[in-house]
Amino acid sequence: MKREPRVDDLINNCYQILALPSGASMKEVEDAYRRLKEESSADEEEWERLKEVNWAYENLIKYLTRHEKVTPQKEESMPRRKGVVLFEPGEFSLKGLLFSVEEKVNPFYFGGRVFVFLIVLIWGLKFIFHSAESNYAGESFMHNISLPFHEAGHLIFGILGDFMGVLGGTLLQIIIPLICLGAFLKRADTFSASIALWWAAQNFIDAAPYINDARKQELILLGGVTGQDVPGFHDWNNILGRLGLLKLDHFLANTSHFFGVFLMLASFAWGGYILYRQYKNLDK
């Protein structure tokens, strides 16, 4: 049965990454892989190159195992990367997507990740233990990071109509972290993906005080005014007013806050587990 051209292209690309001619034997692949690993250094560029080499090696080993009928003893002796090898759609693994880690983890990078994790853990607990009424999230530094995306959302979603333009501010500030999460997962950078989930969670918590203020309109908004000063300027008074849901502003605010808390706790568990797996794979 003739192989599909895309598989041929993938295999040829893997050979090129290992600097081997197409059709090289299993032994040549293993020798090239071992040589490239020994030649690699600890700098970031070489680390990215090594991840690419690992990917090419594992795909070639899988391909050659199938076509050369390698004995079970030899196959078991092959080094395996603790992660996902996206070789065939049918072999997709959700566990591999969410929990893959490098075969060898650079201790310096690991230390940096632990430091970042401790920062988001401590900061996240502050967000969790401050209610929507306190507006802690709205006065935090993270609010300033999300504010440009919020304002851009009004413009981007505004092409869908006035209502979506108003709602688009909050939508985009939540969508951007989710896009980052997807991009990190595509790169198999699961720890960074857990931080992106934390950011998405923080934006749900960040939106809560704004929703909670829909009736009172006392929060100082962009431009130094309140919703009372400029009718129609307050996003959530505008949104809930049009939907006839103004009386539910506190309920919806608490829902947004607690959903953000749930996602933030999930990000702690996810990031902590990834660090645990990376610790076991430290390159000592």
pLDDT in tens, 213-271: 999 999 988 888 888 888 889 999 999 999 999 999 999 999 999 999 999 999 999 99
What DSSP state is assigned to residue 172? H
pTM for this model (two decimals): 0.68
| Cα 176 to Cα 99, 117, 150, 197, 269, distances in angstroms | 22, 20, 10, 11, 22
Over residues 13-33, the pLDDT tens digits come to 888 888 888 888 888 888 888
3-class DSSP assignment, residue 100: coil
| Six token digits for residue 46 | 């070489």
Q: Are 199 and 177 a contacting pair, CB within 8 Å?
A: yes
The full set of domain ranges for the chain reads 5-80, 107-280
Correct CATH for 5-80 of 3.40.50, 3.30.450, 1.10.287, 1.10.20: 1.10.287
| pLDDT tens track, the chain, 284 positions | 444 446 677 888 888 888 888 888 888 888 888 887 777 665 566 677 777 888 888 887 888 877 654 444 444 444 444 444 444 444 446 777 888 888 888 899 999 999 999 999 999 999 999 998 888 998 899 999 999 999 999 999 999 999 999 999 999 999 999 999 999 998 889 999 999 999 999 999 999 999 999 999 999 888 888 888 888 899 999 999 999 999 999 999 999 999 999 999 999 999 999 999 999 888 76
d(CA 149, CA 142): 12
